[in-house]
Amino acid sequence: MKFKSHSLRSVEQTGSFVPYYNPRVIALSEVSYDFGVQMYTKENLEPLDVEKHVIENQNMYFGSLGATAPSICSQIVEGALILGSNNVSILNNGDWSFIVSDFDWLNANGESNLNSQNAFSGMFPFPEAGINSCRSEYFAYVFSSALVIANEHDVKMIKGDSSDLEEFTQLRSTISSFKRILGFKFISVI
């Protein structure tokens, strides 16, 4: 088969169709493209309300069922194991869910510098668990009416009132041999 070569002029004259051929030449400076892309400035940026984001996007962190006490506990347990715990348990007593460990995972020397003083103040990266991972302790804060942590010597109330602290202290006395306890009363937030 022999191919016939055409110049641009002969294509115009013969009326042959070449799909990528445009007989008009347009200077690039005359072309305006609108792909729906908007340029943003510093004035357009607003700080993210992390707690509101987590509540409104529960499926991103917990799947289609949203946040539940067992899902929050299992994520915290996985984090504790990654950080060095050998024995971690989830205990439930009434409205309370407890994570009990033989290792103080909250004060472990992790890459994100998280500790028992700041663990509940926001979402923190968790590079030890992989790219795009975050620590889960904050979820216990967001989805609880009461949150208390304890080690062998101290008890610290993060959220709740004195009756919650009293309940936690009473329940804690029934748990033996631990380095760290995190207890919270789950509330569903929609």
DSSP states of 17-61: --TT--SS---GGG-----S-----GGG-----HHHHHHHTHHHH
pLDDT of residue 42: 82
pLDDT of residue 110: 81
Instruction: Summarize pLDDT for 60-86 with one digit per residue, the tens.
Output: 999 999 999 999 999 999 999 999 999
Element housing 101 (H / E): strand 96-101
Give pTM, 2 decimals.
Answer: 0.75
Cβ atoms of residues 99 and 182 within 8 Å: yes
Cβ atoms of residues 146 and 163 within 8 Å: no
46 vs 53: CA distance, rounded Å: 13
Tokens representing residue 180 in the block = 């760290």
Cβ atoms of residues 102 and 87 within 8 Å: yes
**Angle at CA 156, nearest 5°, toward 152 and 159?**
145
pLDDT of residue 46: 85
pLDDT band at 123 (very low <50, low <70, confident <90, very high): very high
